[in-house]
């Protein structure tokens, strides 16, 4: 019995690390521009597609080649997300109050999904891990679950150091505090926002590649990752990567528990129940700050 719950825990944390990485990619864009980039789910899937293409072309990858292709995947998706960010920010040139980003980010997501459907059909692609299963708690755990956990920890510390210890990171943080004052101080706001989009692309590009063997690579699978990433953002607290690192695995464990005990089709239901519960109890999230409002 304990081994069953150990499997649920390890795999849930591994899958939840993917949600945490999605939440971190949401956060850096949100901090810089106030935008939630709903196209991130399909960018994650595109990262997984690169892993599929690499294994199909090269065959069994050596760990060194796998690592190099992972970096290439992150860079490619980073460039794609930067271009998408430019198109998303373009209508906001004259007003920060517009909500056109809702349309543009969802439009990009729909377009990418349609292209994937035309290119590969409705069937999901399968990617085999080049790493053997790892013995843990008397069971063998697929390596991508542990790699996803490691990647989440890596990006958490990398983003924390970047945002708090570099001038560019501090400038991006200043946009979240007061974008008008940041612009008045002479900061290149659009350039910083595009950089934030690019960094979010690096995060999801590497995540999609690493987690390709354990995520669904299909034209319609992005919605689930966007949904769970958004739930992790709300539960952890908007703009809090610490909250994302904790909330993501929490969502993943609950989702995995629902899959094992009830059925995979109920994962979304339990995610929504968690979202409603946290909104009722603590609307700003676990690590979110209470927003002040002028009256």
Give the pair of three-digit tokens for residue 57: 């072309």
- Cα–Cα distance between 21 and 150 in angstroms, integer? 11
Q: Does any domain span residue 288? A: no
Can you give the pLDDT at residue 57? 84
Can you give the pLDDT at residue 185? 79
Residues of the chain under the 70 pLDDT cut: 1-2, 92-99, 263-265, 289-295
Q: Does any domain span residue 133? A: yes
Between the CA of residue 37 and those of 2, 78, 88, 108, what are the distances in Å? 39, 13, 9, 10
Which residue range is the domain that position 206 belongs to?
25-221
103-158: pLDDT as tens digits: 888 888 888 888 888 888 888 889 999 999 888 777 788 999 999 999 999 999 99
Q: Does any domain span residue 43? A: yes
Can you give the pLDDT at residue 262? 77
Q: Does any domain span residue 63? A: yes
93-106: pLDDT as tens digits: 545 555 677 788 88
Q: Does any domain span residue 204? A: yes
Q: Does any domain span residue 272? A: no
Between the CA of residue 220 and those of 106, 191, 225, what are the distances in Å? 13, 32, 10
Q: Does any domain span residue 16? A: no
Q: Does any domain span residue 278? A: no
Can you give the pLDDT at residue 292? 47
Can you give the pLDDT at residue 235? 92
Domain tally for the chain?
A: 1
Can you give the pLDDT at residue 293? 46
């Amino acid at each position: 019995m304990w081994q069953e719950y150990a499997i649920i825990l390890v795999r849930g944390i591994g899958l939840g690390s993917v949600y945490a990485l999605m939440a971190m990619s949401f956060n850096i864009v949100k901090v810089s521009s106030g935008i939630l980039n709903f196209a991130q789910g399909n960018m994650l899937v595109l990262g997984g597609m690169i892993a599929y293409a690499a294994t199909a072309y090269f065959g069994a990858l050596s760990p060194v080649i796998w690592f190099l292709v992972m970096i290439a995947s992150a860079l490619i998706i980073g460039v794609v997300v930067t271009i998408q960010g430019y198109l998303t920010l373009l209508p906001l040139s004259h007003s920060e109050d517009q909500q056109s980003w809702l349309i543009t980010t969802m439009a990009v997501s729909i377009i990418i999904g349609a292209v994937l459907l035309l290119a590969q059909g409705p069937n999901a692609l399968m990617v085999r891990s080049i790493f053997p299963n790892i013995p843990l708690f008397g069971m063998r755990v697929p390596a991508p679950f542990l790699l996803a956990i490691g990647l989440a920890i890596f990006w958490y510390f990398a983003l924390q150091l970047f945002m708090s210890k570099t001038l560019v990171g501090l400038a991006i943080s200043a946009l979240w505090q007061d974008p008008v004052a940041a612009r008045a101080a002479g900061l290149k706001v659009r350039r910083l926002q595009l950089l934030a989009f690019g960094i979010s692309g690096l995060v999801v590009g590497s995540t999609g590649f690493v987690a390709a063997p354990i995520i669904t690579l299909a034209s319609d699978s992005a919605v689930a990752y966007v949904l769970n990433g958004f739930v992790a953002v709300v539960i952890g607290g908007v703009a809090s990567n610490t909250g994302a690192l904790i909330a993501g695995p929490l969502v993943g464990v609950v989702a995995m528990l629902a899959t094992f005990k009830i059925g995979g089709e109920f994962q979304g239901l339990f995610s929504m129940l968690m979202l409603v519960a946290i909104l009722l109890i603590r609307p700003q999230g676990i690590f979110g700050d209470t927003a002040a409002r002028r009256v």
